[in-house]
Amino acid sequence: ADLMTRARAFARVAIDGLLARKGRFDGIGPFENAHIRIDVDDFTLDGFDVAPGKRSKPLVMTFKKPEEVVGNHIAKFQSVRLAKMLMAYDFERELNPFVELGGFLFTFIGDGAPGTGKTTLIQMIAGLVNGYCQVAGYPFAYENFGVDQISSYQGKSGQNCRQFINNVLNPRVIGFGTIDDIDQVAARRSDDRASAGQQEITGVLMDAFAGASTVVRGNCSFGMFSNYPENVDDALRQRAGARWLVDGPQTRDDYIDIFVLLAGKNHKIPLGDHELYAAQEIQRAVAEAYEEHEKPQEDGLMKVYERYMKENGAPKTMADVGTYLHMIKDAEPRFTGRAIKNVTDAIKMRAMDIELPDDWFEKPEAFMHKSYDDKKAIIEELRGPFSMDMVMQEINRYADSEFRYSDKSDDAAVEKLLRDARLRERAAREMEELKKKGAW
């Protein structure tokens, strides 16, 4: 065993040394173009890009607990659900029963103003999944794709992005991939100021998230996060199955809780008339948050909703729902078939909104190590039918996000036009003054 360890260490040092000096060698083109994958032995040869026998790096991150996330109730609730959902994955079948039954969250986008808790959510999800994987003895792969992986070499940005996708999709691990500041990493296809690398990344992500060859096994999930989601390409944004508004603390109770949490315990100041963290109790908070979406939040959608209610009354049938969706489509052309699929996926997820007890994840044999069929039977038994209230809440929640993005995009365009007009007027005035002085 000692000899084997020493041999591996020697080989690793030798490979690292060769990679460091590869620029000195000529005639390595044929090797660089070699791309070989042997599934049985879990061996990948990808030129010099990935060294053979690549070892997984330990996850270094400051994890957050759910109670340390203040506000963002629906996003927090669905994050906890997602972490538990991933752990239902069966490594023998390479499939998750949540994928077969519907409601698995493969992609999502979280948007909100700077400082509202997007990074904290990432730390919370990664922390939960990492903890569950340690209990179950499963390998966990977390990767973030950021602006530092955009390359000036043609095609390299796309390759980096594809490698990121493949690492997370690996069916032998539980994976969680994030793209922070997606509006800076991937560009709109119509943006002529974007770099070629950003356009490559947009293409790779669109193909990976909902392309012809996309296979959702249920072992991983991808999260996109942005302060400016209106700057993300429409087709890429619609590939996000769920929309999370990450708006941070909202109520008086939220602000008391976050101040007490961040201030620490080095004081003797009394708490006062307040039940600490009661507002952060997920079940209560999320029920209230969902109820808020019984009616739309955005002005544009509210007009559609009021017109629908006036003409048709409260929806009672599937035809009524279809009529409402069609009226939304007339007001917002981006509300297409893929948007409807995302809405129905969200409804299925609500129906699968089952409480998998925490103690099931404290011992692997309680749930995680059960057979695929056993896990599927447990989930089927726990789930219930979805209701009209759920349908309307999810339609309004998703449509609200589209109207919110459109409004932000329109506001930005109007602001740009106003600024250009002011600059033209100023230039004309200064030109006249220069003409009077004979300097033009």
> Does residue 116 come out as left (phi exceeding 0), alpha (psi in the -120 to 50 range) or beta?
alpha
Q: Are residues 144 and 37 in the same domain?
A: no
pLDDT at 416: 81
∠ CA(117), CA(187), CA(153), 5° rounding?
Answer: 115
For the chain, how many structural domains are there in total? 2
DSSP bridge partners of 12: none
Considering the domain boundaries, does residue 318 fall inside one? yes
CB atoms within 10 A of CB 208: 21
Considering the domain boundaries, does residue 440 fall inside one? no
Q: Are residues 211 and 316 in the same domain?
A: yes
- At 348-399, the pLDDT tens digits run 878 776 778 888 999 999 999 999 999 999 998 888 888 899 999 999 988 9
Residue 284 domain boundaries: 66-400
Considering the domain boundaries, does residue 161 fall inside one? yes
Q: Are residues 22 and 146 in the same domain?
A: no
Phi and psi torsions of 138, nearest 5°: -95, 145
Q: Are residues 103 and 191 in the same domain?
A: yes
Task: Let me know if 207 is exposed, middle or buried by CB neighbors in 10 A (0-12, 13-18, 19+).
Answer: middle
pLDDT at 384: 81
Considering the domain boundaries, does residue 114 fall inside one? yes
- Based on its alpha-carbon atoms, the radius of gyration of the chain, rounded to whole angstroms, reads 26
Report the predicted TM-score, pTM, of the whole model to 2 decimal places: 0.72
Q: Are residues 104 and 209 in the same domain?
A: yes
pLDDT at 99: 92
Q: Are residues 25 and 113 in the same domain?
A: no
Q: Are residues 277 and 387 in the same domain?
A: yes
pLDDT at 53: 44
Considering the domain boundaries, does residue 420 fall inside one? no
CB 152 within 8 A of CB 117: no
Considering the domain boundaries, does residue 425 fall inside one? no
Q: Are residues 85 and 36 in the same domain?
A: no
Q: Are residues 36 and 132 in the same domain?
A: no
Residues of the chain with pLDDT under 50: 51-55
Considering the domain boundaries, does residue 57 fall inside one? no
DSSP bridge partners of 38: 43
Cα torsion for 383, 103, 396, 402, to the nearest 10°?
170
Q: Are residues 27 and 149 in the same domain?
A: no
Q: Are residues 11 and 78 in the same domain?
A: no
Considering the domain boundaries, does residue 165 fall inside one? yes
In single-letter form, the type of residue at position 18 comes to L
| Measured distance CA(154)–CA(207) in Å, rounded | 19
List the CATH number of the domain containing 236.
3.40.50.300
| Measured distance CA(74)–CA(247) in Å, rounded | 10
In single-letter form, the type of residue at position 27 comes to G
43-46 and 35-38 strand pairing: antiparallel
Q: Are residues 79 and 37 in the same domain?
A: no
